[in-house]
Amino acid sequence: MILTVTLNAALDITYRVPRLHPHTTNRVTEVSERPGGKGLNVARVLAALGHRTVATGFAGGGTGTALRALLAETGVTDALVPVGGTTRRTVAVVDAAGGDTTQLNEPGPTVSPAEWDTFLGAYRELLGEAQAVALCGSLPPGVPVDVYARLTRAARSAGVPVLLDTSGEPLRRGLAARPDLAKPNADELAALTGSTEPLRAARDARRRGAHAVAASLGPAGMLAVTADGTWQATPPRRIAGNPTGAGDSAVAGLLSGLVEGLPWPDRLTRAVALSAATVRAPAAGEFDTATYEELLARVVVTSDHSAAGPDR
């Protein structure tokens, strides 16, 4: 079983408009709703790949009820912990003419100390069955900023590999707990390290504690810095569409590859193919199967085994 953690789950709402015109009324041609938040997107892609997946985190209020009803249709096992507050919504407005997406993200419900303690108990119990865990996304109000460091240490104590996908201070503190893999994007790496050069920044992030760092580079693919060397996977062409959730699909590719024992080049190939195929899908947490299968054979992976240096 693969466990995903989404502390700030969301009901993802996608609006499609022929062309987005700011400062005036826009008529929506299509609306879709999906269970969202980074970890839930990861879980849905993992389930679509055939992995038994359990999702935990928080859900509450009418939005949380709607989210859980939709999650029940995905094949993901629901282990979300109820909270008194209302689960947030995220709204993506997709401009069909330009292909751009405007994202509006609510902050999420405040989590009480008692609700946090309930979650911790559930998380430790779920670790007993997990082959790997993904800790994903932003933190809702009321959750301590070092939460991912705590959850990483708990997983490592249970012998469960950890993938960390967050940003800002939670990422900085989480790295110090030595996750098996961190998956920031280029902007998150730059904010963490002060370097806009991806390879230098990824090496810096790895020195801060992660055993390996896989950095999303957007249309340029993905860079991985590990104990055994450095790889970069590049898609054969730029894929047009909605990029929302592409990074989450990359996480699913990396995590599934870890559980299956794939070598790094194959993990990166899967991650980049899934990420690009998600850009072609209607909403986050989904991927276009034809695009995915095509790109699996066409992603280019290059390596430099001298770049990373020995593990710590």
4: tokens are: 């995903």
Q: In 3-state terms, what secondary structure has residue 178?
A: coil
Q: Reply yes or no on whether 95 is catalytic.
A: no
Catalytic residue among 117, 248, 266, 304: 248
- Give dist(CA 227, CA 127) in Å, integer: 26
Q: Alpha-carbon distance 203 to 79, whole Å?
A: 35
Pairwise CA distance, residues 232 & 285, whole Å: 24
CA–CA separation, 24 vs 307, rounded Å? 52
Burial 154-186 (b: 16+ CB within 10 A, else e): bbbeeebbbbbbbbeebbbbbbebbbbbbbbbb
C-beta of residue 51 within 8 angstroms of C-beta of residue 4:
no
The residues facing 162 across adjacent strands are: 133
**Beta-carbon neighbour count of residue 204 at 10 Å?**
17
The residues annotated as belonging to the active site are 248
